[in-house]
Every structure is written in structure tokens, then in C-alpha cells.
């Protein structure tokens, strides 16, 4: 068999992919900071590329908002500057150039080996020796090697990164979600190991040989039944488990909805505004047409339910009490995401969505559980909604009922003096206009 056949395009690309992945893992391992693993999904290359001292960790709520990309002027009529981010991307560019060069070198290396082998085969042919390199054998060994490396890689990622998925859930329903994930993970891991041993093991053992002939085995009904029915049953179990878990979390009776503490959050580029319902536990009506600089949620203050609504910088929740979030968006899709509560729900403009859950551990208890004295729950946005997306963070504090009540009393009302003045001015203007009309019609 010639070199060209062995180094066909698919083989070549799979090897390139393998090396690229290996390089990537290596780079990640080098950049990994064991102290910043609270949110595993967020530790991507961005954190290492843009690691400036001003942003301590990705989940920090102390991000300096003056460094946000939207700088809306100084309020004195000066020019509005857009997109003035101060992030330094040079590290990212360098790393990209480095890996591009590495990839190029690898291609050259493969090319040189190929040419050398071709020269070897041609020399043997000139010498009259018909037996060249046994490529089948080499391919078989490569398959066995790929199996061992692949299984070790899976083992490595489970043991090294597995702890990232193992965080204690901070909510009651979170435990059901974790159970579902664990069941799925165990089943898929077993299937993954068995199928890969069979796949690569067979390719190694029954590698092409002149000494034996392949056994002709076109069909077997029992086998067909087995590999149709078993996966069907397993998948049905997984799907139903997911369906009932999700239903149990989201299908809440009206009585339970009424019992819950009502909080409204509104996403916009790039912040969350939190509104507590106040003593009546009902947030007042809203209408986007009423939006003004003093009333940026467009709250309809003619609705008296809104008079006790409170603005909150952080979200503070009483432990072991059901809370119901009404989730809105003012502009585009955002996503209400508190990973440690296993809560995620899209924020859709024009269509409120809901998520009701019960926090199980206070922030203090979580600090003890995670052995991290600075631990915080954080509300994030899980939709890449624009340049300031990363900054859509609100600290969530879970405290005792008493601490919650004490905190709530101190929060300011939406229905403040500025709003009252604005409403008064509007009603005076309206009254003047009706007077004018009445006068004109006389
Ligand atoms: Cu967002």
C-alpha cells in the first residue's frame, strides 16, 4: 500500500485535529487557576486572554462599570462615545499566532515524513524487494494507541475537571436536576467506554491481512432487535426523567404561586434591574410607553400596587422560602441564570417568563460547604447579548428571614419624589390642555 493511500485526507485531518486538541488542553492546563473555578463554564480562553488586574475573577460583582463599552457621555452635551473598551487583546492575538504557526509546522512535519517514507519505498522497489512497509499493521497499532489515549483523556478530564460539576446545589429543585445529570452521565459514560473499546479494539484485532479472509456476515435479526430496543428503552427513560423533572420544577399550582415572594427582574444591555413587590407582594403594572429617564421600567404609577415597589441593587432572598421571579427584557433576548440554584430562563422582550424556586442554603452556609470564605451566588446573563454582556451580574444573597426583612425596609421606593413631581407636572399639563379645549369650544 502506498503512502498516498495511508495518508488520505481524513486520516490527515483527524491527526491534525488530535494534535490541535492536545495543544489546546495543554494551554488550558497551563492557564488554569485553581482558585477561580466557581463557575466552570465561564473559565474559557477569554479569561486568560483578557486577564487584566482590574477584573479579579469572572464572577466578581465588583466589576468597574466605568470600563463598560457604552460610554453615554458626561451629561453636559459632550460627544457620546460608543465601543470604547479598554480591554487588552494582545495576549489573545499572540496565542492565535502561536497556534497557527504550530499548526503550520505540524503540516510541514507530516509532509517531510511522508516524503521520506515514499523515498524508502522507492529505494526498496529499485532493489527488487516487493515487501514494503506493513501499513495495515501500523494503522492497527495507531487505532489501539488512539483508544488508550482517548480513554486516558476521558479519565483525566473526569478526575481533573469533574469537581467543577460537583458543586452543591443551593436550591431545593437543584438536587433533582443534579440527580438527572448524574444518571445521564453514568449511562453515557458506560456506553462511551464499551462502544469505544469495541470500535477501536476490532479495528486493531481484525486489521487487514493477506493471511485471512473477512467473514461474510450480512444480517442478524437478534442483533438488530438488541441494538434497537435497548437504546430505545434507555433513551425513553432519560427523556421521561427529564420531562417529569422539568414539569415538577415549572408546573406550579396557583396557590403555591401566590404564596411565593414576588420579585421582578428586567434585563437590558447591559444590566439587570430588580424590583421587589413590597408589602402587597404584587408588582405594579408596566407599560413601555411610560418609560422616561426617571421611570426607566415604564411603571404605571396610576396602579397603586406599584407604590410600595422597591428598587434593589442586589438580590436578597430569605432562605427556605419560595420565590417567584418574573423575568422581562427591555431590548433583546437575555437569560436569567443563577448556576448554583440550577436556574436558567430566557428574558424575552414583550413576554414575561417565570421561574419559581426555593433557596436551600444561606450564603454563609454555602461558604462553609464550598470552603470558600468569599463565596457568592451571582445572577448572570446566559445569552451573548453584546459587548457588555459579561457585566450583567447581580450579587444574590441568601439570608435568614429576619435579615431579609431588615434589608428590605432599607431599600428605596420606585415611587419617589422625582416620580411624584413628574406625575404632578403631567397631570397639570393635561388639565391645562382640557381647559384650553373647553375654552376653545365655547
Ligand atoms: Cu444579556
- Which CATH number characterizes residue 346's domain? 2.60.40.420
DSSP 120-133: HHHHHHHTT-----
Q: What is the pLDDT along the chain (442 residues), one digit of tens a residue?
A: 444 554 555 556 556 666 555 555 555 544 444 333 333 333 333 433 333 334 334 444 444 444 444 434 344 444 444 445 567 888 888 889 999 999 999 999 999 999 998 888 888 888 887 777 788 888 999 999 999 999 999 999 999 888 777 678 889 999 999 999 889 999 999 999 999 999 999 999 998 888 888 888 889 999 999 999 999 999 999 999 999 999 999 998 888 888 899 999 999 998 999 998 888 888 888 888 888 887 888 888 788 788 888 888 889 999 999 999 999 999 899 999 999 999 999 999 989 999 999 999 999 999 998 888 998 999 999 999 988 899 899 999 999 999 998 988 888 787 777 777 877 888 788 888 877 776 666 5
Instruction: Tell me which residue of 386, 426, 387 sits closest to 295, measured CA to CA.
Output: 426
Centre of ligand 1 to C-alpha 271, Å, is: 7
Centre of ligand 1 to C-alpha 151, Å, is: 38
| Structure confidence at residue 55 (pLDDT) | 38
Q: How many CA atoms lie within 13 A of 233 on its CB side?
A: 5
Instruction: Tell me which residue of 156, 165, 154, 144 sits closest to 193, measured CA to CA.
Output: 154
Centre of ligand 1 to C-alpha 84, Å, is: 19
Is 287 among the domain residues? yes
Centre of ligand 1 to C-alpha 67, Å, is: 17
Question: What is the number of structural domains in the chain?
Answer: 1
Centre of ligand 1 to C-alpha 277, Å, is: 23
Please give the Cα distance from 22 to 156 (Å, whole number).
Answer: 12
Structural domain span for residue 384: 257-416
Is 367 among the domain residues? yes
Centre of ligand 1 to C-alpha 279, Å, is: 30
Centre of ligand 1 to C-alpha 386, Å, is: 7
Centre of ligand 1 to C-alpha 348, Å, is: 11
Bridge partners (DSSP) listed for residue 346: 335
Please give the Cα distance from 209 to 14 (Å, whole number).
Answer: 24
Which regions of 81-188 does DSSP assign to beta strands (E)? 81-82
Centre of ligand 1 to C-alpha 334, Å, is: 4
Centre of ligand 1 to C-alpha 368, Å, is: 31
- Supply the DSSP symbol for 167: P
Centre of ligand 1 to C-alpha 9, Å, is: 42
Is 305 among the domain residues? yes
Its sign, for the CA torsion 404, 406, 408, 411, is negative
Which chain residues have CB less than 5 Å from ligand 1, an ion? 334, 381, 385, 392
Is 432 among the domain residues? no
Is 350 among the domain residues? yes
Centre of ligand 1 to C-alpha 222, Å, is: 52
Is 373 among the domain residues? yes
Whether the Cβ atoms of residue 261 and residue 324 lie closer than 8 Å to each other: yes
Is 291 among the domain residues? yes
Helix, strand or coil, per DSSP, at residue 286: strand
Would residue 421 be called left, alpha or beta, if left means φ above 0 and alpha means ψ between -120 and 50 degrees?
Answer: alpha
Centre of ligand 1 to C-alpha 38, Å, is: 20
- Helices 174-205 & 135-161 angle (0-180, nearest 10): 160
Is 114 among the domain residues? no
Centre of ligand 1 to C-alpha 388, Å, is: 8
Centre of ligand 1 to C-alpha 161, Å, is: 27
Centre of ligand 1 to C-alpha 278, Å, is: 26
Centre of ligand 1 to C-alpha 202, Å, is: 49
Centre of ligand 1 to C-alpha 250, Å, is: 22
Centre of ligand 1 to C-alpha 59, Å, is: 15
Put simply, whether the predicted model's pTM sits higher than 0.75 gets the answer: no
Centre of ligand 1 to C-alpha 393, Å, is: 9
> Look-up: residue for cell 494582545?
90
Amino acid at each position: 500500500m502506498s503512502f498516498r493511500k495511508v495518508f488520505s485526507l481524513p486520516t490527515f485531518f483527524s491527526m491534525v485535529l488530535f494534535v490541535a486538541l492536545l495543544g489546546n488542553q495543554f494551554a488550558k492546563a497551563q492557564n488554569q487557576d485553581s482558585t477561580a473555578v466557581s463557575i466552570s463554564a465561564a473559565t474559557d480562553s477569554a479569561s486568560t486572554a483578557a486577564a487584566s488586574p482590574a477584573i479579579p475573577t469572572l464572577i466578581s460583582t465588583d466589576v468597574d462599570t466605568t470600563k463598560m463599552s457604552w460610554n453615554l457621555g458626561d451629561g453636559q452635551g459632550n460627544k457620546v462615545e460608543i465601543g470604547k473598551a479598554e480591554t487588552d487583546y494582545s495576549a489573545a492575538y499572540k496565542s492565535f499566532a502561536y497556534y497557527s504557526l504550530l499548526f503550520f509546522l505540524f503540516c510541514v512535519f507530516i509532509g517531510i515524513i511522508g516524503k521520506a517514507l515514499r523515498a524508502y519505498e522507492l529505494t526498496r522497489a529499485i532493489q527488487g524487494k516487493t515487501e514494503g512497509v506493513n501499513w495495515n499493521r501500523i494503522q492497527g497499532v495507531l487505532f489501539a494507541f488512539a483508544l488508550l489515549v482517548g480513554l486516558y483523556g476521558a479519565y483525566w478530564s473526569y478526575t481533573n475537571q469533574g469537581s467543577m460539576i460537583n458543586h452543591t446545589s443551593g436550591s431545593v429543585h437543584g438536587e433533582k436536576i443534579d440527580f438527572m445529570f448524574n444518571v445521564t452521565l453514568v449511562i453515557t459514560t458506560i456506553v462511551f467506554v464499551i462502544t469505544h473499546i469495541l470500535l477501536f479494539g476490532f479495528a486493531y484485532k481484525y486489521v487487514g491481512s493477506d493471511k485471512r479472509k473477512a467473514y461474510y456476515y450480512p444480517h442478524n435479526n437478534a442483533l438488530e432487535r438488541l441494538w434497537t430496543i435497548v437504546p430505545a428503552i434507555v433513551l425513553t427513560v432519560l427523556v421521561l426523567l427529564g420531562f417529569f423533572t422539568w414539569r415538577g420544577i415549572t408546573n406550579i399550582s396557583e396557590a403555591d404561586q401566590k404564596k411565593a415572594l414576588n420579585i421582578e427582574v428586567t434585563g437590558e444591555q447591559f444590566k439587570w434591574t430588580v424590583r421587589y413587590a413590597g408589602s402587597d407582594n404584587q408588582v405594579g403594572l408596566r407599560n413601555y410607553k411610560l418609560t422616561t429617564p426617571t421611570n426607566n421600567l415604564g411603571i404605571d404609577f396610576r396602579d397603586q400596587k406599584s407604590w410600595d415597589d422597591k428598587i434593589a441593587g442586589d438580590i436578597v432572598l430569605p432562605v427556605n422560602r419560595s420565590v417567584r421571579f418574573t423575568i422581562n427584557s427591555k431590548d433583546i433576548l437575555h437569560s436569567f441564570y443563577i448556576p448554583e440554584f440550577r436556574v436558567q430562563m430566557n428574558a424575552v422582550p414583550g413576554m414575561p417568563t417565570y421561574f419559581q424556586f426555593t433557596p436551600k442554603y444561606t450564603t454563609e452556609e454555602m461558604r462553609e460547604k464550598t470552603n470558600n470564605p468569599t463565596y457568592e451566588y451571582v445572577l448572570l446573563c446566559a445569552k451573548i447579548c453584546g459587548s457588555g454582556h459579561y457585566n450583567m451580574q447581580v450579587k444574590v444573597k441568601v439570608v435568614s428571614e429576619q435579615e431579609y426583612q431588615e434589608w428590605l425596609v432599607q431599600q428605596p421606593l420606585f415611587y419617589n419624589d422625582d416620580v411624584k413631581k413628574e406625575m404632578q407636572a403631567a397631570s397639570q399639563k393635561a388639565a391645562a390642555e382640557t381647559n384650553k379645549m373647553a375654552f376653545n369650544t365655547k
